[in-house]
Amino acid sequence: MENIWGFYGRNTELAEVSRIISSGRWFFCAISGRRRIGKTSLLQKAAVELAEGKLFYVQIPDSDERGVIHAFREALDDFEETWGDASLGDRLLQSFIDVAAVIGILNRKGIIVVLDEFQYFHRKKLSPFTSFLQAQVDRLRDTRGGGIFVLGSIHTEMMAVLEDRTSPLFNRVTHRIQVGHWDFEALFEMWRTHEIVQPGHWLFLWSLFEGVPKFYQDCFEQRLLGQTDDYRQTTILRLFFEGASPLRDEAANWFLNELRGRYDSVLKLLARMGPCSLGQLRNEYTQVGGGDELSAYLRVLVDRFGMVEKLQPISAIPKMRRGRYVISDNFLSAWLNAIGRNVQMARVQPVHKPLARTDMMLATHEGTVFEKMIRQLTEESSQKGVGDFELTDLIRGYWNKPDGSDIEIDLVAINEDQRKIRFGSCKRNADSHSGSERKNFAEHVHRFLGETKEGRKFNDWQVEKVLYAPDFAPSIRSGLEEKGWMCRDLADFQQRLYPN
């Protein structure tokens, strides 16, 4: 197994950061992305290559003016100790005006300033700083060298600080970069580097961490990457249940930093119920003492925090009431549905009991997110020109009733240019594609094409019905293919996106 942690993927983002830094012109670049996604690592990688690693980095606290000043003082001490530049050491920082002035001085020296968690300047106590920063930005905008990167993990608050017409920093940003999850090409590279070869192991890790680099680095630092027979419970134990487990408090800290109010009760219900309609969620929310605020909470969780996603069936119009709500982040869903409650239980029970219960509950969680995994794998393969189905639109599922009690199909992919449509059925275990399940799947496809308004327009298209599982044993695959079924597993996608 590789004994060092590498830098994986991010070629597009790294090229953009490198272009900005190497231009020689001053810049003010906003970089957005969820917590732990690798925004700072991206800048560090680019700086090592292009700026000799000379970054002045400050993480903005969710505090007041004195807290920000203290953070800057400590950052200056660290910077001067590292780079031997004592020219700022005797500067007295007493106010936001002084902090902004230091940023200006650093930039004129050609030093790049990184302000992390910049969205906190949207808070009332910290918002006056933006006016002083604006004054420095206006003086710096036509200079050469140096620049400012502002990093934020709450997109809407970043937009409010930088894009609202009433904000002092309106129209000052020169570049914008959105940092998302690792794509699967990067994941397959990392998994191969660390000798993770079993498709079931890929699904287990992705169902917890998706493409969040810091979580995989935590696994590496705990010596959890690599193939062992007991990788599931060992990973869960070391990351969540032991006293020094690195992710034991991650979800709680996330809530404390970003959620204010009763949003956690909505999220816990969504984690337990899985994709569900507004009506289903409202019934459950009422039973736990909730009131009319549910719709407002959902809007905030969807539009502001991006923690919840509203799914629509294929061909649905935006206001159609068949939408389903689901937690958009795998880690958050796994924590709320399986891990968190058992970590609490481990305080009063022998650890092996809640550990086994967590493993069992995560297996159910994996079945839910496997559809999402296949959808994203198919879209990435098509986008990179290596897929076996060329898409002309994003993949969706189909259901004609919000609760899925009638027609329901896991995945529907279309290619309008070639007039082809692919229907997919996803199972966590290949054995679950039994004769009765396949018959049920075929009947739902037949009814969709023949009985629904959305489906009739595809009647003269070429139809494919595909079975998906993490891994098909050769004997199972050949048996299904002899019966006329197409089979696709994670190894098929790996060979396309990151071939041997």
Residue-number span of the structural domain to which 90 is assigned: 11-178
342-398 pLDDT per residue, tens: 999 999 999 999 999 999 999 999 999 999 999 999 999 999 999 999 999 999 999
Domain end, chosen from 141, 158, 178, is at: 178
Q: Is 90 exceeded by the pLDDT of residue 154?
A: no
The reply to whether 204 falls in a domain is no
| pLDDT given at position 444 | 97
The reply to whether 2 falls in a domain is no
CATH of the domain at 118: 3.40.50.300
- In the chain, the number of structural domains is 2
The reply to whether 125 falls in a domain is yes
> What are the tokens at 462?
């070429």
Q: What is the spatial distance between Cα 207 and Cα 364, in angstroms, rounded to a whole number? A: 10
The reply to whether 186 falls in a domain is no
| pLDDT given at position 53 | 61
36-76 pLDDT per residue, tens: 899 999 998 887 776 566 789 999 998 999 999 999 999 99
Q: Tokens 């920093």 correspond to what residue?
A: 169
* Under 8 Å between Cβ of 237 and 362: no
Report the run of H or E that residue 396 belongs to, with start and end: strand 396-399
For residue 111, the 8-state DSSP code is P
Q: What is the spatial distance between Cα 323 and Cα 319, in angstroms, rounded to a whole number? A: 9
Q: Is 70 exceeded by the pLDDT of residue 88?
A: no
The reply to whether 426 falls in a domain is yes
The reply to whether 59 falls in a domain is yes
> Mean pLDDT, to the nearest integer, of 84-107?
80
At 145, which amino acid appears?
Answer: G
Domain end, chosen from 178, 200, 228, is at: 178
Of 274, 314, 449, 465, residue with least CA distance to 394:
314
Task: Provide the strand spans (E) within 206-355.
Answer: 308-311, 324-327
The reply to whether 133 falls in a domain is yes
Q: Is 80 exceeded by the pLDDT of residue 273?
A: yes
Could you report how far apart the first and last alpha carbons of the chain are, in Å? 17
Q: What is the spatial distance between Cα 312 and Cα 109, in angstroms, rounded to a whole number? A: 52
The reply to whether 96 falls in a domain is yes
CATH of the domain at 431: 3.40.1350
> What are the tokens at 319?
């206001």
Domain end, chosen from 178, 203, 222, is at: 178
337-354 pLDDT per residue, tens: 999 999 999 999 999 999
Considering the entire predicted model, what is its pTM? Answer: 0.91
**DSSP-based three-state secondary structure for 63:** coil
> What are the tokens at 116?
């992390």
For residue 415, the 8-state DSSP code is E
Task: Provide the strand spans (E) within 252-313.
Answer: 308-311
